[in-house]
A and B are shown apart, each in its own frame.
Chain A
Amino acid sequence: MKTWSDRYTAVLGAAMAVLLLAPAGAAALANVPGQVEPSRAGAGIALVALAYAGYLALARVFGPVATSAADAAWLVLSPLPRRRVLRRTVMVLGAVSLVAGLVVALGLLSATGVQGQLALRLLVAVVLGTSVTVGGMAVAVLAQASSAWDGWLLAAIVVAVVLAVLAAIHGAATPSPAVTAAAASASAVAAAALARRAWAALERVPAHRILEASTRTGNVATAAVVMDPGALTWIIEDAHWRRQELRSRPLPRRLRGAPALAWAEWRRLVRRPPRLAVLTASSALPAVAAHAGGRLTPVAVVAVAVGALAAAAACTAGARRDVHDPSLPRLAAAGGRPLLVARSVLPALAGGAWLGSALAGLSMVGALGAGPWWLFGPAAAPALAAGALRMARRRPIDHSMPVIPTPVGALPTGPIIWALTGADLASLGCAPLLTALTGHPAALGPLLIVQGLFGTAVAAAFLLTTRPRPH
């Protein structure tokens, strides 16, 4: 039963959120361009479409109909009307959809420009944005209740990605107000119909699916509360492989010692083709972001740095497991430096290839100067591998570390050090590349050589000085 105090807290919280976010929203609106070239508009729409695909994918992964563990265990399985039990969940999903819709609207406006009609285009963008996000969430709810709708949801994700690719390649002309208004109206009608259907379907969502979604969401919440994202990674990883049908493949005959243990990482990578495809396709994101911004924007540079390290880190599951539970490396008697070296090969290849591909894309859209920028990929690969392995071997967040008061607020050093571990070494090792990206060098040759030597030196120092754990 909600008390007046609960209601007061909720209203105050919402008011504070609006007060805090309103200036940021106003600033973003003030920066919306008037006119945008078709090619830049295409890149911007591509980013919005990709973000929307991610929104749908997240809704599918997390349920989206989930509730607290206690409600899932007791109320969902009781004869109580399902919609009443899930009323709070529905409100949360609605709020999430609306906020996501506003973000989509802002993204669309930034991509296409307002062309001197701010009020009209803003209204249309908000209607369109919230319609597609509410409609998407409704389809996700329906997908939880029926496998046929799950197919439609998957199709919607694929369509959004294809749309993003087409928009990035071919560009997009800013449509007339009449067309966008018609599209917004049609979307609103469709979203209302889907939302109504989803509301009716809530009674039919199988209890076990709500229980599974609640467990997943509960794990995520726990990981967020205790601030242990590492635990979250394992939950997702283990849940994925638990439901996979696998087929054993023999190890390459010549593999012996630590490389035999590291080989598992290659196999794992190949066994997740969609993940590999997303990883490969994401290397085009920096080029799309630069194209949307009309130059090598800070967002594009950050996308290059984060993406390259993420690609390398995606190939370090075995190293993370070795550190968090050394039982298997002990049983294999293959630990220490040889194993670390063997485990560094795949992250180096993945990170280097991703970086090379991203830089080639940036060159193609004219965001970089002349020269073989893609060669920075292989040159920076050792440093990326060292950073990814350092990230994989970091300990959980130390919450006992001091909180430092600063002029911008209190800084908890534990989470900050945790977040920077790995990124620090990769940044250090890739310093020549970062210099080149931000400094517009006259010639790439010397910087490439320095990057190769410096990156290798940083990686060698990491491998030689890291105290081998667990042995």
Chain B
Amino acid sequence: MRRASEAVIEAVDVRLDLGGGPVLAGVDLRVDRGDIVAVLGENGSGKSTLLRCLAGLQPGVSGEIRVFQRPPVDAAWFWRDVACVADEPAWYPGLTVREHLEMMPAVHGEARMRVDAALDAFGLTKRADMAPLAMSTGQRQRLSMAMAMIRPSRLLLLDEPERGLDPAFRERLAAAVTGYTAEGGTVVMATHDLPLVEATGARPVTLEAA
């Protein structure tokens, strides 16, 4: 049951200047538990930057940002609640797809789903014994998503999750995202993919280039 008043993210008058120009000019955002928010906007409007601000990874931000009632920081305790999938990570060398996935439940001590189920859900069963670098861009994006989804978390920050994915898989991605929120999670994603926004029933938040 969704509790509408439980704010997960509260961002008030968020401003950021980079390279002498404004990137974010007074952004306000409130995201409640169970919400799926799609941050939309043209290239350079600050979608990815806003996600970095919400993850506590962007220095020089003014305004107020609170995630789970606390300012976001790049610290282990913060990442226990928040999973972030942005640019492709540098995979650990010498580990297979399955071993990358197994690491997440082992480190967290619990899992949202079994490894085999995650491999199946993200279409990676036949690639389980491959090194991530031997796979295509889209397959590696699936692995990134699977690693974020298999671990327990309360907030999912996704930067262009549709990157490299074929249209058929986007429906499965939408199902995975809505399934995550149905369990009480919250999702904020920066995206250009309007069908994905529609399929997930996300609330659109459009940023204008500052």
B residues 65-123 near A (Cβ < 8 Å) are: 74-77, 79-80, 83-87, 89-99, 102-104, 106-109
- Whether the pair B90, A328 counts as a contact (CB closer than 8 A) is yes
Q: Which residue in A237, A240, A258, A331 is a CB contact (below 8 Å) of B84?
A: A331
Is B131 an interface position by the 8 A CB rule? yes
Known A251-B106, A257-B109, A261-B103; contact A330-B84, beta-carbon cutoff 8 A:
yes
Is A335 an interface position by the 8 A CB rule? yes
Q: Which residue in B79, B85, B93, B134 is a CB contact (below 8 Å) of A321?
A: B93
Is B54 an interface position by the 8 A CB rule? no
Taking each of B75, B91, B106, which has the highest tally of chain A beta carbons within 10 Å of its own beta carbon? Answer: B106
Closest residue of B by beta carbon distance from A239: B133
Contact with B along A204-238 (1 / 0, CB 8 A): 00000000000000000000000000000010011
Instruction: Give the 8 A-B CB pairs with smallest separation, nearest first.
Output: A327-B89, A325-B90, A268-B94, A260-B106, A333-B79, A248-B98, A333-B80, A332-B107
- Whether the pair A264, B99 counts as a contact (CB closer than 8 A) is yes
- Whether the pair B102, A250 counts as a contact (CB closer than 8 A) is yes
Query: Given known contacts A246-B96, A317-B94, A327-B87, what 12 new A-B pairs fall within 8 Å (CB)?
Result: A234-B90, A244-B131, A248-B97, A248-B129, A256-B109, A261-B103, A330-B79, A331-B83, A331-B84, A333-B76, A335-B75, A336-B75
How many A-B pairs have beta carbons closer than 8 Å: the answer is: 121
Q: How many residues of B contact A (CB 8 A)?
A: 38
Known A238-B93, A271-B94, A331-B83; contact A336-B131, beta-carbon cutoff 8 A:
no
Is B151 an interface position by the 8 A CB rule? yes
Complex-state Cα separation, A335 to B96, whole angstroms? 21
Complex-state Cα separation, A59 to B84, whole angstroms? 43
A-B contacts, 29 of them at CB < 8 A, read A237-B93, A240-B93, A241-B93, A244-B131, A246-B129, A248-B96, A249-B99, A250-B102, A251-B99, A251-B102, A251-B106, A256-B106, A257-B107, A260-B103, A260-B106, A267-B95, A271-B94, A317-B93, A321-B90, A321-B93, A325-B90, A326-B74, A327-B84, A328-B90, A328-B91, A328-B92, A332-B79, A332-B108, A333-B79
Contact with A along B131-172 (1 / 0, CB 8 A): 101100000000000011001000000000000000000000
- Whether the pair A264, B94 counts as a contact (CB closer than 8 A) is yes
Is B128 an interface position by the 8 A CB rule? yes
- Whether the pair A268, B95 counts as a contact (CB closer than 8 A) is yes
Is B130 an interface position by the 8 A CB rule? yes
Is A88 an interface position by the 8 A CB rule? no
- Whether the pair A331, B148 counts as a contact (CB closer than 8 A) is yes
Is A470 an interface position by the 8 A CB rule? yes
Contact with B along A61-102 (1 / 0, CB 8 A): 000000000000000000000000000000000000000000
Closest residue of B by beta carbon distance from A321: B90
Complex-state Cα separation, A331 to B102, whole angstroms? 13
Complex-state Cα separation, A438 to B102, whole angstroms? 49
Contact with A along B27-49 (1 / 0, CB 8 A): 00000000000000000000000
Chain A nearest CB from B132 CB (Å) reads 9
The interface residues of chain A lying within 8 Å CB-to-CB of B133 are 238, 241-242
Q: Which residue in A249, A258, A325, A332 is a CB contact (below 8 Å) of B104?
A: A332
Chain B nearest CB from A241 CB (Å) reads 5
Chain B nearest CB from A328 CB (Å) reads 5
- Whether the pair A264, B76 counts as a contact (CB closer than 8 A) is no
Known A321-B90, A327-B86; contact A471-B79, beta-carbon cutoff 8 A:
yes
The interface residues of chain B lying within 8 Å CB-to-CB of A271 are 94
Known A251-B102, A264-B95, A264-B103; contact A336-B76, beta-carbon cutoff 8 A:
yes
Is A393 an interface position by the 8 A CB rule? no
Complex-state Cα separation, A248 to B130, whole angstroms? 9
Chain A nearest CB from B81 CB (Å) reads 8
Chain B nearest CB from A198 CB (Å) reads 32
Complex-state Cα separation, A336 to B97, whole angstroms? 25
Known A248-B99, A334-B76; contact A327-B90, beta-carbon cutoff 8 A:
yes
- Whether the pair A318, B84 counts as a contact (CB closer than 8 A) is no
Complex-state Cα separation, A470 to B91, whole angstroms? 16
Chain A nearest CB from B125 CB (Å) reads 12
- Whether the pair B75, A471 counts as a contact (CB closer than 8 A) is yes
The interface residues of chain B lying within 8 Å CB-to-CB of A7 are none
Chain B nearest CB from A148 CB (Å) reads 27
Taking each of B76, B99, B108, B147, which has the highest tally of chain A beta carbons within 10 Å of its own beta carbon? Answer: B76
The interface residues of chain A lying within 8 Å CB-to-CB of B98 are 248
The interface residues of chain A lying within 8 Å CB-to-CB of B130 are 246
The interface residues of chain B lying within 8 Å CB-to-CB of A264 are 92, 94-95, 99, 103
Is A440 an interface position by the 8 A CB rule? no
- Whether the pair B107, A256 counts as a contact (CB closer than 8 A) is yes
Chain A nearest CB from B154 CB (Å) reads 12
- Whether the pair B128, A333 counts as a contact (CB closer than 8 A) is no
Complex-state Cα separation, A456 to B76, whole angstroms? 27
Chain B nearest CB from A215 CB (Å) reads 15
- Whether the pair A328, B129 counts as a contact (CB closer than 8 A) is no
